[in-house]
Amino acid sequence: MVQLVKKTFGKYSYYYLVEKKKVDGKVKTLWQIYLGTPEKIAEFYRAHKDLPEVKLKSFPFGLDAALLAVSDDLGFVDVVDTHTSKKKIKGLTVGEYALLVLMGRCSAPVSKEGVERWFNKDTFLHLLWSFPHQLSGQNVRNHLDYLLTPEEESRGDPGAIRNIEEDLARALLVQGVKPTTLIWDTTNVFTHIEKGGKLLKKTKSKQMRFDKNHVAFGLAVSQENIPFLSEVYEANEPDVTLFPKVFGRLVDRLVRLNIDTEGLTLVFDKGNNSVDNLKAVLGHMHVVGALRRDHPVAAELLAIDAKEYEPLYTTGKGHAVTGLRRDDVGLFGMDRPFTVVAKHNDGTRRKQEGTYDRTTARIIETLEELKAKAGRVGGRGRRMTEEGLHRAINDAIYKDYRALFHYTVRKKEVEIPGKNRRSTILDLEYWLDEEKERERPEGFGKSVLFTDNTGWSTADISKAYDSKNIIEDDFACFKGRLFVRIMPIEVRKDNRVRVHVELCVWGMLFYRYLARKLKTMGIDVTFGRMIEELKDIRLAVVENKESNKIEIKLEEMNPLQARIFTALNLARYIPESKR
């Protein structure tokens, strides 16, 4: 219950609004707001009576309105409704449900259960849309099931998802978004779901959560970082076997979109390297990739001191990039020449040095703990088995560091303190390979690239491969807290997991398209600032005391917000005022 509380300090009195509640038998203050002295309160009251309007409530407007604008540009709702089979009944369509969930995920993120609260409390959309049913979590899930039913999932049918994705790509082309380069990469995110479907698997975790099940997905994005294709797959499938399935689908899509594949270049990392994969790509388009460090050509170039590399360019973060080029190189037993470029990025070198030091220290700390646990004499609790110790060591030493660390486990008899008998313990000894420890830093900041674009400059080849970083930015957003966060995943069935990830990918498509549109209109702001400025554009619901009319007005905007508001024509989404 809210109370007006008077507090006296010396000879002066002050008033507060206070809410108290009984918790565990004791009255506790939940919150309090300082109102001021009696004179100050009277001053505010007189000023309030003279105001022509009173603000009743305000709502975030800019971001949601901008997402509506993107939806209208791409025809998102119509595209979804065209490819789903729900009968036309009064209320929201599947496309409108999908748009609501996408927008909620872009802003909060909002769970399926939280859509109704977000719609009514945290956005202006309830002033714009009205419908006869509730936005319950079950209603949301039921409608999203039209995108991919459990039956479709069980027989490997993609449902409506791929057709929707393709029509969105077609709409992007109409809006002038045409790829000249496509970047393919994969990632995974961990979940707290222990018992799910076939998609959820334990794998090499990008977030170092090897104890958790993961969802894996890949993206093919344009040079402007706009997704043109996505794939959700079983998390333990290697990139090299996944790639041919996805690439065939990508080529089919490009052909249906009337995009000339011969003019395209595909960028991917070394995890996709195989003779069959490269032949498939080069049969349709050009390629820029990376060689593994143990490849003979890569090993030769990596052994050359970075001081002998030639300057190429400086990155936007001020890091110097240098390189060394070899032309007419034979690779993968193919009868065509490749250009190979060894590059060195000083910023990457410093980052890798820090990661190496932290990871090595973490592994040593874990091995010391295992050594103490395995060598424990006496005490309560089960003793560690030899098999269990080997398994724990294998988990402690990350795959990329196994060539660096060596260890032995021996059984050893020791005296039990205070007792006239002996016990067998496991004696763990470990050490670092001195030669590998010396060699490893020599490769920090270096990578070896290859391409069939033999006419490109060394800098252009390096920059093309560097463009892979833009997709890494998307992956960071998906795993972060600010933008289209995929985590947490609160659905278990495979069809719903796929739909959840796809909606987040489409949300990122909305954001990237929005950034591109503003840039083409002369508003070049960073991705993060664009979102923050949009979030700060708000609507106020005010009451005109003379006419008793409830009006909806924009709160004051700064110059950048006003430019964005005008460029996107967001005024069309301001709800009508009511009496």
The rounded distance, in Å, linking the Cα atoms of 204 and 399 is 9
CB within 8 Å of 474: residues ≥ 6 apart? 219, 221, 225, 227, 508, 512
The rounded distance, in Å, linking the Cα atoms of 536 and 524 is 18
The alpha carbon of residue 246 and the mean position of all alpha carbons in its chain are separated, in whole angstroms, by 20
Q: What residue spans define the domains of the chain?
A: 1-50, 58-157+494-579, 292-330+338-451
CB within 8 Å of 286: residues ≥ 6 apart? 264, 265, 266, 451, 452, 453
The rounded distance, in Å, linking the Cα atoms of 290 and 184 is 13
For position 579, what pLDDT does the model report?
A: 40
Q: Which two tokens stand for residue 443?
A: 């490769």
The per-residue DSSP string of 96-158 comes to HHHHHHHHHHHHS---STTHHHHHHHS-THHHH---SS---HHHHHHHHTTTS-HHHHHTT--
Closest CA to 483 of 202, 168, 63: 63
Q: What are phi and psi of 65, to 5 degrees?
A: -65, -40
Q: Which two tokens stand for residue 416?
A: 């039990």
The per-residue DSSP string of 430-499 comes to EEE-HHHHHHGGGGTTEEEEEES-TTS-HHHHHHHHHTHHHHHHHHHHHHSSSSS--PSP---SHHHHHH
> Kindly report the CA angle at 64 between 551 and 66, in degrees rounded to 5?
105
Q: Which two tokens stand for residue 436?
A: 């590998």
User: SS3 string of 190-252?
Assistant: ECCCCCCCCCCECCCCCCCCCCCCEEEEEEEEECCCCEEEEEEECCCCCHHHHHHHHHHHHHH
**Per-residue confidence of the chain (579 residues) as pLDDT tens digits?**
567 788 887 777 887 767 777 766 777 776 676 777 877 777 766 655 555 555 567 889 999 999 999 999 999 999 999 999 877 667 789 999 999 999 998 887 788 888 888 888 888 888 888 777 788 888 888 899 999 988 988 888 889 999 999 999 999 999 999 999 999 999 988 888 888 788 888 888 777 777 788 889 999 999 999 999 999 989 888 889 999 999 999 999 999 999 999 999 999 999 999 999 999 999 999 999 999 988 999 999 988 988 899 999 998 888 899 999 999 999 988 888 999 999 999 888 999 999 999 999 999 999 999 998 888 876 666 778 889 999 999 989 988 898 899 999 998 887 777 666 777 888 899 999 988 888 888 889 999 999 999 999 999 999 999 998 888 888 888 887 667 888 888 888 889 999 999 999 999 999 999 999 999 999 989 988 999 999 999 988 776 666 667 778 888 899 999 999 999 999 999 987 544
The alpha carbon of residue 288 and the mean position of all alpha carbons in its chain are separated, in whole angstroms, by 24
Q: What pTM does this model have?
A: 0.80
Neighbours of 302 (CB within 10 A): 21
User: SS3 string of 356-404?
Assistant: HHHHHHHHHHHHHHHHHHHCCCCCCCCCCCHHHHHHHHHHHCCHHHCCC
CB within 8 Å of 169: residues ≥ 6 apart? 228, 229, 253, 257
Q: Is 34 helix (H, G, I), strand (E, B) or coil?
A: strand
Bridge partners, 410 (sequence order): 427
Q: Is 355 helix (H, G, I), strand (E, B) or coil?
A: helix
Amino acid symbol at 199: L
> How would you class 477 by CB atoms within 10 Å of its CB: exposed for 0-12, middle for 13-18, buried for 19 or more?
buried
For position 435, what pLDDT does the model report?
A: 87
Is the Cα dihedral 300, 301, 307, 310 positive or negative?
Answer: positive
The rounded distance, in Å, linking the Cα atoms of 153 and 150 is 5
Q: Are 489 and 193 in contact (CB under 8 A)?
A: yes
At 74, which helix (H) or strand (E)? Answer: helix 62-74
Question: Diameter of the chain by CA atoms?
Answer: 98
CB within 8 Å of 521: residues ≥ 6 apart? 567
The per-residue DSSP string of 506-572 comes to HHHHHHHHHHHHHHHTT----HHHHHHHHHT-EEEEEEETTTTEEEEEEPP--HHHHHHHHHTTGGG
Closest CA to 257 of 320, 173, 193: 173
Q: What is the dihedral of CA 106, 110, 111, 116, to 10 degrees?
A: -120
Q: Are 406 and 457 in contact (CB under 8 A)?
A: no
For position 115, what pLDDT does the model report?
A: 86
DSSP conformation class of 419: S
The rounded distance, in Å, linking the Cα atoms of 404 and 525 is 44
DSSP conformation class of 318: S
The rounded distance, in Å, linking the Cα atoms of 347 and 445 is 7
Q: Are 513 and 484 in contact (CB under 8 A)?
A: no
Rg (CA), the chain: 30
